[in-house]
Amino acid sequence: MRSVKWTKRNSIYLAVLLALAAFLIYLPIGGSRRNINIGILVFIYIALGQSWNLLSGMSGLFSIAHALFYGIGAYGMSLMLARAGSNPLVGLLVGIGANLLVALIVGMVGSKLSGLYFTMALIGIHSIFYTLAGQLTITGGWLGISLPREWQLTRKELYIIALAIAVFMTVLFQVIRSSRIGTMFVALKENPQLAASLGSDIRKWRILAVLISATMASVVGSFYAIYMMAHNAEVFNGTVSLRIMMVCMVGGVGHIFGPWVGSALIIMDEYIRGAMPTEFASLSVVIYALVLIVMALLRPQGIMGSKIFQPKEVDVRAIENLDAREKTE
């Protein structure tokens, strides 16, 4: 086995994680209903963060509208339970199925053309879903959709499921990172041209990254529907996407514990919101923007990160550009 060097950095990780673990255990035992809800929200964003981390941190495709996959997962669950009278397992699978279809389309665009087109395809499809969810009768329009009471769970059950999902997504991230798939994802993020010249089919790996990431976000969205027992098209809201990105960027993009550390931001945000009069509730966006600016100035790689996020273009033939740069140096 490989030996792990014990560095000061490791001690900081451990301290942060222990503090977080202590806080998370305290919440359901001694915490108020409100604190438990914050805990659940934290887990939701950790799990979503891992989904984003896999796509954008590991494989290098920048997902700017990640709420798309989350929202589809939520509607998969709520539509199946409320409209089809089905059970949560079917809801979960329908959400995943719909997500795989959407991910395939976005992934194919993203793998054929440059990263910019991936972003555009994502935004385009996202706005279709956002609008339809708010307009259609079956989704209940902007009023939203309520789930049958029989599927309601207790706070503590929800808390444990949310924790399990967050841990599962974190472990999944690490398992993928250390597998052949993870090596290929990182290779195509760091140098897609070199990866191609070494025989890796960049398109296939890019599409796979979107499929896995969308599935992860879908599970979280489906959980959210059951947690809330009612939701509307706001599951697709841009603030959700922004939060996911913030959690990862503050914590450290591509780092396994990035979303765990970054989710402290969610806690902060919730407490500040609780302390504010309701008319200032939307102030959280301002807070995010401020945090983002401060982070960009002081620590652009995130708290846990070691590397600044740099999305790469997908053009596998572009290696000559590197050579050209060399010549002018």
Partner 1 sequence: MFLKAENVTITFGGVNANQNVNVSFEKGQIVGLIGPNGAGKSTFFKAVIGFNRVASGHIYFKDEEITNQEPYKICRKGISTTFQKAQAFPDMTLEESVRVGAYCRIKNKKEAMAKAQEMINFVGLTGKEKAKISKLNMYDRKKAELAAALATQPELLLLDELFAGLVPSEVELILKYVKKVSEELGITLLIVEHVLRVVMSLCDQVFVLENGQIIASGSPEEVANNPEVIRAYLGGDSNVAAG
Per the listing, tokens 């070199």 go with: 194
What φ, ψ does residue 145 adopt, rounded to 5°? -135, 135
CA 84/CA 36 separation, integer angstroms: 31
Rounded to 5 degrees, what angle do the CA atoms 275, 276, 282 make? 130
Total residues at interface with partner 1 (CB under 8 A):
28
Give Cβ neighbours of residue 307 (< 8 Å, ≥ 6 apart): 253, 254, 301
Of 267 and 319, nearer to partner 1 (C-beta) is: 319
Does residue 196 bind partner 1 (CB under 8 A)? yes
CB of 50 to partner 1, least distance (A): 19
Does residue 183 bind partner 1 (CB under 8 A)? yes
Of 150 and 329, nearer to partner 1 (C-beta) is: 329
What φ, ψ does residue 230 adopt, rounded to 5°? -165, 140
Among 190, 280, 290, 294, binds partner 1 (CB under 8 A): 190
Does residue 316 bind partner 1 (CB under 8 A)? yes
CB of 209 to partner 1, least distance (A): 16
CA 313/CA 329 separation, integer angstroms: 21
Q: Is the dihedral of CA 137, 139, 142, 145 positive or negative?
A: positive
Does residue 313 bind partner 1 (CB under 8 A)? no
Of 79 and 314, nearer to partner 1 (C-beta) is: 314
Among 10, 11, 131, 179, binds partner 1 (CB under 8 A): 179
CA 235/CA 244 separation, integer angstroms: 12
CB of 58 to partner 1, least distance (A): 11
Among 127, 161, 174, 201, binds partner 1 (CB under 8 A): 201
Does residue 193 bind partner 1 (CB under 8 A)? yes
Does residue 180 bind partner 1 (CB under 8 A)? yes
Q: What is the DSSP string of 238-300?
A: HHHHHHHHHHHHHH-TT-TTHHHHHTHHHHHHHHHHHHS-GGGGGGHHHHHHHHHHHHHHH-T
Does residue 108 bind partner 1 (CB under 8 A)? no
Does residue 194 bind partner 1 (CB under 8 A)? yes
Does residue 127 bind partner 1 (CB under 8 A)? no
Q: Which stretch binds partner 1 (CB under 8 A): 29-37, 99-107, 206-214, 313-321?
A: 313-321
Does residue 197 bind partner 1 (CB under 8 A)? yes
The 10 Å Cβ neighbour count of residue 277 is 7
What φ, ψ does residue 199 adopt, rounded to 5°? 95, 10
Among 1, 154, 279, 320, binds partner 1 (CB under 8 A): 320
Does residue 174 bind partner 1 (CB under 8 A)? no
The DSSP secondary-structure symbol of 144 reads -
Of 234 and 313, nearer to partner 1 (C-beta) is: 313
Query: Exposed, middle or buried: residue 107 (CB in 10 Å: 0-12, 13-18, 19+)?
Result: buried
CB of 178 to partner 1, least distance (A): 8
Cβ atoms of 80 and 89 within 8 Å: the answer is no
Does residue 195 bind partner 1 (CB under 8 A)? yes
CA 201/CA 189 separation, integer angstroms: 13
Residues at the site binding partner 1, with contacts judged by CB under 8 A: 2, 179-180, 183-184, 186-187, 190-191, 193-202, 307, 316-317, 319-320, 322-323, 325-326
